Amino acid sequence: MKAPDKRAAALRAALERHNHLYYVKDAPEITDAEYDRLFRELQALEEAHPELRTDWSPTARVGGTPLSEFLPVRHKTPMLSIGNAFEADEVQAFDRRAREALGVTSIEYAVEPKFDGLAVSLVYRDGPFVQGATRGDGTTGEDITPNLRTVRSIPQFIKAAGQLEVRGEVLMFRKEFEQLNARQREAGEKEYVNPRNAAAGAVRQLDSRITARRQLRFFAYALAQVPAKMPPTHSRALEYLEDLGFPVSEEIDVVQGVPGLVAYYERMARKRDRLPFAIDGVVYKVNRLDWQEKLGYVSRAPRFALAHKYPAEEQATEVLGIDVQVGRTGILTPVARLKAVFVGGATVTNATLHNEDELRRKDVWTGDTVVVRRAGDVIPEVARVQKPGPRRPEDRFEMPKHCPVCASPVVRVPGEAATRCTGGLYCKAQRKQTLIHYASRRAMDIEGLGEKLVDQLVENNLVKSLADLYALPREALVNLERMGEVSTTNLLAGIQKSTTAALERFIYGLGIPGVGEEVAKILARHFRSMDALLRANWAGLAEDKEAARKENAKRKKRGEPPVAVPLEGIGPEIMESIEKFLHESHNREVVARLQKAISLEAPAAGAQTVSVKTFVLTGSLSGMSRDKAKAALEAKGHKVTGSVSKKTDFVVTGEEAGSKLAEARKLGVKVLSENEFLEMLKSL
């Protein structure tokens, strides 16, 4: 008989090979019973010889001890979302922009299905799988390594030295989804809406043993980091991943130009219903990786990739009634209650009618048969009336005169289609949505403060404004449904953690209409304190902006450097919205109470007074990561872009600088070494 260590190694290799054959190649060589026999033998060996256990053993795929929380993981390279296209002319425009930016007449594209699952990142170090994470907000995700170990199509060990990062999609095949819902029905439990929700919920379980029971699949679609030299094209990178044992979709192809893109889109549309998994479109990527780097990024999306979505799915059903929902900003939205219908991969019982004007234009009444449209995660909407109902006087919708939640008067906003509740943060509906927004990851990031708990806090009058979060009594929380000691401790810890926060997160978290993340950053850089923002002279700022623009027009003619434009990027409508929000007495009272509970961290002093410079980072920096370098520049009020142009002021080069360095030299852009950059950073 072989020594235990050699037998264990042989069993691991055999089990992983059979996992790959079954889950990746769909070509099993042994029966399930034979696989189970080998698995039990390995389990027995590891129990008898604990020193033989490894994190990447096939026995780790059954799940382990439940976690208390997911730890944050900062992505070395951001996991960005891809821009969407729905029409052929949008695809043509994407190709034209790419060709013009690259200076070529035709582009080769890698094309692939757009999986309807959950994006994840896998990191391997000298062979073993060491970390798996969700996309999160694109910069920081959640460590879900124990859960991803249970996904049998993800290799536990690869034959590659150094660190390698793979990105892909975790999903559930239609067949396994139907089996899961059958088990849910038999157990008398709630069924899942669609395969994507079932997969996403399984991946984010604190108990990895639950994940293991969901029969999830994985497909690799990108190579983010490789220890050796990167392959020259995206398609070659996928071939490399396949050689290492990663599952890659058989539907991936390489095409030339717009005709090739459109032909692939149409081909996949015909095959869509026959695929074992759900897709909601196809993805186009410029195949050459050096061209991808040259094209770079815009905002939160790459310029070298596009998701071409399929049209929304439609089904007919009956309108049972029309209700009104009150949103976070007080807008009243008419919503059609529907006879349940399956459309776009989900069972739909409600669909938005947007606003009173849209409802009148479509002429929707209770009792009508309507066509409901849904695509992917888009909110279902009533597209049109297919057949009018009896249309009695009581079937016609009328916008209420008072808020259905707080009974405050409602007003029609001049110049808008919106009708708003005047109850402000006193309205429970607005209060709930404001709390959820305030606690969200990109705002104050309060772990554990979800929708169901917020409902209880508001309904029990424990939270009447955002400031009440910081005075929640422990004894009241413990007695709430599904709370208890552990959940209460975790929630209070999350709230305490939020008492130190970046100013821009706090501003964003207040939920000021029109103020998203980027506007919040601009406000934080300009004012640097909440007190200064509250004291702002908005009329004076508008005059200063106009004066700076006129001055820059003169300087441009004289060839002189521009002066900084105050609040550049914030238009007059948003400025008016901010002013109205901050001048409302109740909002000022809430902000004052929040300031007593929270220590706000402002951006670097003086950032708003400097002339904004545009930087491009290329290559690996040894003194800090590129993410940190970007954050440091943005904190000082400067811009970091992904591609070099005539408007670029500096290109910072690290080790293995690529085509951006050549482009900078070609355009005469100032090139900085890492040491020169670090010295400049001190004085910016």
Q: Which residues are catalytic?
A: 114
CA-CA distance, 141 to 118, in Å (whole number)? Answer: 12
Tokens of 461: 């009058």
Measured in degrees and rounded to the nearest 5, phi and psi for residue 112 equal -155, 160
CA-CA distance, 21 to 665, in Å (whole number)? Answer: 50
The one-character DSSP state at 316 is: E
Q: Which residues pair with 313 in a beta bridge?
A: 374
CA-CA distance, 103 to 659, in Å (whole number)? Answer: 14
E-strand stretches of 40-187: 72-74, 84-85, 108-115, 118-125, 129-134, 140-142, 163-171
Helix axes 4-23, 32-48, angle to 10 degrees: 150
Residues written for the chain: 684
For residue 256, give the 3-state DSSP assignment. Answer: strand
Nearest by Cα to 389 from 332, 339, 334 = 339
Tokens of 193: 């809406």
Nearest by Cα to 332 from 407, 259, 280 = 407
% helix / strand / coil in the chain, to the nearest 5? 40, 20, 35
Measured in degrees and rounded to the nearest 5, phi and psi for residue 361 equal -65, -40
For residue 204, give the 3-state DSSP assignment. Answer: coil
Q: Which residues pair with 277 in a beta bridge?
A: none
Long-range contacts of 254-257 (CB under 8 A, 24+ apart): 254/108, 254/109, 254/110, 254/111, 254/287, 255/108, 255/109, 255/111, 256/106, 256/107, 256/108, 256/109, 257/95, 257/106, 257/107, 257/109
CB contact at 8 A, 358 and 403: no
CA distance readout (Å), 359 to 105, 319, 387: 47, 13, 15
